[in-house]
Amino acid sequence: MASVSVSHLVLFIASLLIASMVAGTLVTGVDRVSSSMSEQSLETSESIRTDIDIISDPGSDAVVDGGDVVALVKNTGSKNLAAREDSIDVLLNGRYVPAEDLVVEELDDDGWKPGDVIRVTIDADANSDLQVQDSNRLTVIVDGNEALMRFRN
Amino acid sequence: MGLSVSGATAVILVGLLIGVGIAYPTLAGSLELVTDARDDRADQMADRQNSDIDIVTATYDGNVLTVEVDNDGTITLSVNATDVLVDGEYETEGNAAIDGVGSTDLWQPGERLEYTVSLDNQPQSMKVVAETGVADRTEVK
What pLDDT shows up at residue A1?
A: 60
Interface test with A, best of B1, B24, B33 (most A CBs within 10 A): B33
Q: Name the closest residue on chain B to residue A43, using Cα atoms.
A: B34
Q: Name the closest residue on chain B to residue A21, using Cα atoms.
A: B12
CB proximity under 8 Å: A 19-58 to B? 19-20, 22-24, 26-27, 29-31, 33-35, 37-38, 40-42, 44-46, 48-49, 51, 53, 55-57
**B14 φ/ψ sector (left φ>0, alpha ψ -120 to 50, else beta):** alpha
Q: Name the closest residue on chain B to residue A147, using Cα atoms.
A: B133
Q: Name the closest residue on chain A to residue B80, using Cα atoms.
A: A115
Q: Is the ipTM of this complex over 0.85?
A: no
Span A72-88, pLDDT tens digits = 999 999 999 999 999 99
Radius of gyration of chain B (CA): 28
What pLDDT shows up at residue B112?
A: 95
Taking 90 as the threshold, does the pLDDT of residue A67 lie above it?
Answer: no
Q: Is A121 on the interface with B (CB under 8 A)?
A: no
Q: Calculate mean pLDDT across residues A138-142.
A: 94
What pLDDT shows up at residue B31?
A: 92
DSSP label at residue B76: P
Q: Is A9 on the interface with B (CB under 8 A)?
A: no
Which candidate from A26, A37, A42 shows the least CB-CB separation from B27? A37
What pLDDT shows up at residue A122?
A: 93
Is A30 within 8 Å of B23 when comparing Cβ atoms?
A: yes
Residues in chain B with pLDDT values less than 70: 1
What pLDDT shows up at residue B102?
A: 85
What one-character-per-residue DSSP string does chain A give? -HHHHHHHHHHHHHHHHHHHHHHHHHHHHHHHHHHHHHHHHHHHHHHHH--EEE---TTSTTSEETTEEEEEEEE-SSS-B---GGG-EEEETTEE--GGGEEEEESSSS-B-TT-EEEEEEETTS-TT----SEEEEEEEETTEEEEEEEE-
Taking 80 as the threshold, does the pLDDT of residue A150 lie above it?
Answer: yes
B100 to chain A nearest CA, in Å?
A: 23
Span A24-58, pLDDT tens digits = 999 999 999 999 999 999 999 999 999 999 999 99
Taking 80 as the threshold, does the pLDDT of residue A127 lie above it?
Answer: no
Which candidate from A20, A33, A117 shows the least CB-CB separation from B90? A117
Measured from the Cβ of residue B45, the count of other Cβ atoms closer than 10 Å reads: 12
Is B37 within 8 Å of A119 when comparing Cβ atoms?
A: no
What are B125's strand-pairing partners? B139
